[in-house]
Structure 1
């Protein structure tokens, strides 16, 4: 049942977002301009660690990244997990309870900050500090999560998410094997944000992002403007492809 629910979530994330190869080839000749979209309802908070709506999760796809992602493809290919901010899929050890990721180099947030191991570690802590809606389900198996759920403000995930700045690695330890962990890490609630992002719902304030686009303006009564991230350089077409329009306007 869990796998079916996760698969359904992935389908919701990708539905209508990615193009067939023939369409993509055509649009390469038409890069630029503005796409205007009419939002059918309010998408809620801009905070990706908190927002739990279909609209929000689809919107986040070209904006934020996690260690891994769902492949940006149509059909069943879209259920495949691919490395995103991580260089490769993790090395798995300790009988399926330890996952070690190597972080890509040279990635910057839209604010100009360099992406580092500390941002990944802080982002996992933040999932619990802001009482993210899936912190007690999808991520409760991380070592130290029980303490974080009991006392969110002092969450460290000690022994659960371990960063090694020198090696450029992040190691995630879980209490028991979880065949769906990578699917959970590919969801927007596990995206990586700057380490100094406040541990509170950011509401209508955009948070710097690593994706091809960034939220450049937002008015809950009028709409949202998503524009190209000036610091983005495509590192994986499968995980985070460069976009075609210069601006996406949600009205």
Structure 2
């Protein structure tokens, strides 16, 4: 509760300072400006001289990327790379906890009109895109029209952006432009709309249909970085392999689903590392090592796609990775009595721990003829499946204690989380069996249950072929055996599974959602009916839930809004929209020589804030 109240105080402070300045005196405005400047990095033009090609950061992704068009892909791993290449109007302070918005390519936080509907951003001058043939040898400055073009792309029906829902029904004239494109087959990017305008080259004005208290968070979200129109038009469908942004890094090499290499962007303006500490003890050491350094320091980032946990662990132990999120099955090797094992201490390796703002769950496809729908017998089947799954065994055996049981779809550390909330769906195989008996899912002579009409009952839980997935398969089978339900585990890669889920083609699939921004709305939008085909991978369409979500979207952070989040959670339980599992605890090992590391709850490509000792002789 204390943490949630801290978030609420931070959110209220941000709302007061982010632009409702008519309600503040001159002194108040100066204090807000001073607070923002204290936390923000100092931008300069000298930073790129510090990037050393011999300073190489070696990382891994446990699942494959799709490509690097930020509007076109929703996978975490594509977004991590895009985050380093494309810049948004806003970002987050690197050290502040809870997460706090700060300007990125904007000069300050937005000016917001008294009615909360008009946002004005002043862009920094002299920011340039990475040199590219599409610019025909001329330097290309970032201007307000680049954001107007980029935001319009999300609504282009031909792109089918999975992030469309974040702008849908928000900006004046944008939905109408998209509707016209659906009729004509052509999206008119040149047509002016009232909601997106540029009074001058470096001023962007956005008019909303209604106040949106999360709109600044959306402007800080990775997909909403600026692209240059001439680059998009030059590369067409191959844009996914030619990302050109204004960020600290550029794509140097891409072997699909195998290896990604980024190098420092020679056009990047650079900044001086300057952050104020949060209340966390680790900040003192980070500031001592990093304060005042020209950034970025790291000249090259090498990312390997390593899906097998054992291969990840061996790569770290052999010195091929600089940071590892310890795979669950190796926790006992990494830790002794909860502390870093002596083998790693002697090497100078450091231990870092955090609880991520995330949930893991298994979703049910509400359009699937066997398991979907709102009939009582369908809800009973999903409820029995959820009650059969042993979350405590997952935490104890698979995750080796590195997780906590999730009680509601909004995790700790996110606005809307209720620390006193308890799920109404317990682990109770006996009750699950009784529920199935009551609704006609009878056991045959072989002990397996059938559907109420006597047809075979066989579940299909989609996954990948990794060793980690096999552990969950075994736990699911063990859990479902207890209630007499047969199950199969078809396999494909993560990217293809995600694509099939968005088309409502998978019966069940495990999922995780990490906060894009620190508000419960970001989690609940995954279950909002109109987001089907975008973020709503379970194809859940509940009129009752949707009404509550629409009420939440109109309210600022408040007790009333938090009560609505509780009602939404209860509605999901009544429908059994998902089988809710855990919030993971991050246990990371960091090799000596890497300084400044602190996992951010929202950002994932923190490389521009780090330094590392050179790796010579490469």
Rounded to whole Å, the distance in 2 between the matches of 1:91 and 1:236 is 25
2:176 paired with 1:140:
no
> Structure 2 residue aligned with 1:207, among 226, 243, 246?
243
- Whether contact under 8 Å (2:90, 2:104) holds in the other structure is yes
> Structure 2 residue aligned with 1:101, among 91, 113, 121?
121
Count matched residues.
Answer: 221
TM norm structure 2: 0.33
> Structure 2 residue aligned with 1:233, among 265, 269, 272?
269
Aligned position for 1:68 = 90
Cα RMSD (Å): 2.8
Rounded to whole Å, the distance in 2 between the matches of 1:198 and 1:73 is 34
Rounded to whole Å, the distance in 2 between the matches of 1:137 and 1:209 is 21
- Secondary structure at the aligned position of 2:152 is classed as helix
Aligned position for 1:197 = 231
Deviations 1:29-75 (A, max 9, x none): 99642122222111112111122122222333332211111222364
> Structure 2 residue aligned with 1:123, among 125, 150, 157?
150
- Whether contact under 8 Å (1:127, 1:190) holds in the other structure is no
Aligned position for 1:158 = 193
Aligned position for 1:173 = 207
- Whether contact under 8 Å (2:68, 2:79) holds in the other structure is no
Rounded to whole Å, the distance in 1 between the matches of 2:70 and 2:249 is 14
Rounded to whole Å, the distance in 2 between the matches of 1:172 and 1:30 is 35
- The structural deviation recorded for 1:221 is 4.8
Higher helix residue share: 2
Superposition pairs for residues 53-92 of structure 1, below 5 Å?
53-73=75-95, 75-76=97-98, 79-92=99-112
TM norm structure 1: 0.77
- The structural deviation recorded for 1:238 is 7.4
- Whether contact under 8 Å (2:155, 2:178) holds in the other structure is yes
Larger Rg: 2
Q: Which runs of 5+ in 1 are unaligned?
A: 8-28
Moved over 6 A (4+): none
- Secondary structure at the aligned position of 1:178 is classed as coil
Q: Which runs of 5+ in 2 are unaligned?
A: 8-49, 132-138, 276-293, 305-618
Higher relative contact order (CA 8 A, sep 6+): 1
- Secondary structure at the aligned position of 1:37 is classed as strand
Deviations 1:198-237 (A, max 9, x none): 2665454222111111112212153111000001112575
